[in-house]
Structure 1
Amino acid sequence: MTRFTRLAAAAALGALMGTTAMAQELFTPNLAYRTGPFAATGIPLMNGQADYMTMLNNRDGGIGGVKVNFEECETGYSTEKGVECYEKTKGKAIVTQPWSTGITLQVLPKSNVDEIPILAPGYGFSPMADGTVFQWAFNTPSSYWDGASMILQYLEQNGGLDGKKIAFLHLDHPYGKEPIPYLEQQAEEKGFEMVPIPVGLKEMQNQSAQWLQIRRERPDYVVMWGWGAMNAGAITEAVKTKFPMENMIGVWWAGHDADLKIVGEEGAGYKSISWSFPNPDAPVLADIQKHVVDEGLTQSNAEEMKGVFYNRGLVISMILAEGIRTAQEHFEEPEVSAEQLRWGLENLNITEARLDELGMTGMVPPFATSCADHTGHSGGWMTEWDGEKFVKVSDHLMPDSESIRPLEEAKAAEYAEANAPWPVNEECSATN
Structure 2
Amino acid sequence: MTKFTRIAAAAALGAMVGQAAMAEGLSTPNLAYRTGPFAATGIPLMNGQADYMAMLNARDGGIGGIPIDFFECETGYSTEKGVECYEKTKSNAIVSQPWSTGITLQVLPKTNVDQIPILASGYGFSPMADGKVFHWAFNTPLSYWDGASIILKYIKEMGDLSGKKVAFLHLDHPFGKEPLPYLEMKAESEGFELLPIPVGLKEMQNQSAQWLQVRRERPDYVIMWGWGAMNAGAITEAVKTKFPMDKMLGVWWSGHDADLRLVGEDGKGYKSVSWSFPNSDAPVMADVKKLVVDAGKSQTSPEEMDGVFYSRGLVISAILAEGITVAQEHAGKPDISPADLRWGLENLNLTQARLDELGLSGMVPPFSTSCANHTGHSGGWILEWDGAKFVKASDLIMPESEAISELETAKAREYAEANAPWPVNEDCQM
- With normalisation by structure 2, the TM-score equals 0.95
Question: SS in structure 2 opposite 1:58?
Answer: helix
Query: Does the CA-based 8 Å contact 2:22-2:66 persist in structure 1?
Result: no
Query: Does the CA-based 8 Å contact 2:21-2:66 persist in structure 1?
Result: no
The count of aligned residue pairs is 414
Aligned in 2, Cα 1:84/1:213: closer, same or farther, shift over 3 Å?
Answer: same
In the other structure, the counterpart of 2:423 is 423
In the other structure, the counterpart of 1:240 is 240
In the other structure, the counterpart of 1:137 is 137
Shift in Å, 1:20: 4.5
In the other structure, the counterpart of 1:124 is 124
In the other structure, the counterpart of 1:10 is none
Question: SS in structure 2 opposite 1:356?
Answer: helix
**1:18-47 CA-partner distances (Å, limit 9, x unpaired):** 545434x10000000000000000000000
Aligned in 2, Cα 1:266/1:66: closer, same or farther, shift over 3 Å?
Answer: same
Aligned in 2, Cα 1:190/1:89: closer, same or farther, shift over 3 Å?
Answer: same
In the other structure, the counterpart of 1:322 is 322
**1:189-231 CA-partner distances (Å, limit 9, x unpaired):** 0010000000000000000000000001000000000000000
In the other structure, the counterpart of 1:31 is 31
In the other structure, the counterpart of 1:9 is none
> Aligned letter for 2:137?
A
**1:141-182 CA-partner distances (Å, limit 9, x unpaired):** 000000000000000011221110000000000000000000
1:340-355 pair list within 5 angstroms:
340-355=340-355
In the other structure, the counterpart of 2:11 is none
- Provide the C-alpha distance between the structure 1 equivalents of 2:128 and 2:18, rounded to a whole number of angstroms: 40
5+ residue gaps, structure 1, are 1-15
Query: Does the CA-based 8 Å contact 2:21-2:335 persist in structure 1?
Result: no
- Provide the C-alpha distance between the structure 2 equivalents of 1:382 and 1:209, rounded to a whole number of angstroms: 29
Aligned in 2, Cα 1:386/1:19: closer, same or farther, shift over 3 Å?
Answer: closer
Question: SS in structure 2 opposite 1:303?
Answer: helix
In the other structure, the counterpart of 2:207 is 207
Query: Does the CA-based 8 Å contact 2:274-2:381 persist in structure 1?
Result: yes
Aligned in 2, Cα 1:18/1:274: closer, same or farther, shift over 3 Å?
Answer: closer
Matched, 1:407 2:401: no
In the other structure, the counterpart of 1:395 is 395
- Provide the C-alpha distance between the structure 2 equivalents of 1:88 and 1:48, rounded to a whole number of angstroms: 23
- Provide the C-alpha distance between the structure 1 equivalents of 2:427 and 2:28, rounded to a whole number of angstroms: 28
Shift in Å, 1:100: 0.1
Matched, 1:22 2:9: no
In the other structure, the counterpart of 2:187 is 187
Query: Does the CA-based 8 Å contact 2:277-2:362 persist in structure 1?
Result: yes
- Provide the C-alpha distance between the structure 2 equivalents of 1:159 and 1:28, rounded to a whole number of angstroms: 46
- Provide the C-alpha distance between the structure 2 equivalents of 1:161 and 1:426, rounded to a whole number of angstroms: 38
- With normalisation by structure 1, the TM-score equals 0.95
- Provide the C-alpha distance between the structure 2 equivalents of 1:116 and 1:174, rounded to a whole number of angstroms: 22
In the other structure, the counterpart of 2:44 is 44
Residue identity over aligned pairs, in percent, reads 76
Which structure has the bigger radius of gyration? Answer: 1
Query: Does the CA-based 8 Å contact 2:245-2:270 persist in structure 1?
Result: yes
> Aligned letter for 1:91?
S
- Deviates further, 419-428 or 349-358: 419-428
Matched, 1:83 2:109: no
**1:241-296 CA-partner distances (Å, limit 9, x unpaired):** 00000000000000000000000000000000000001111011100111101110
> Aligned letter for 1:290?
K
1:9-408 pair list within 5 angstroms:
19-23=20-24, 25-408=25-408
- Provide the C-alpha distance between the structure 1 equivalents of 2:330 and 2:416, rounded to a whole number of angstroms: 30
RMSD: 1.0
> Aligned letter for 1:295?
A
Question: SS in structure 1 opposite 2:159?
Answer: coil
- Provide the C-alpha distance between the structure 2 equivalents of 1:333 and 1:148, rounded to a whole number of angstroms: 40
5+ residue gaps, structure 2, are 1-16
- Provide the C-alpha distance between the structure 2 equivalents of 1:18 and 1:109, rounded to a whole number of angstroms: 35
In the other structure, the counterpart of 1:3 is none
Question: SS in structure 1 opposite 2:302?
Answer: coil
> Aligned letter for 1:385?
W
- Provide the C-alpha distance between the structure 1 equivalents of 2:294 and 2:259, rounded to a whole number of angstroms: 28
In the other structure, the counterpart of 2:4 is none
In the other structure, the counterpart of 2:12 is none
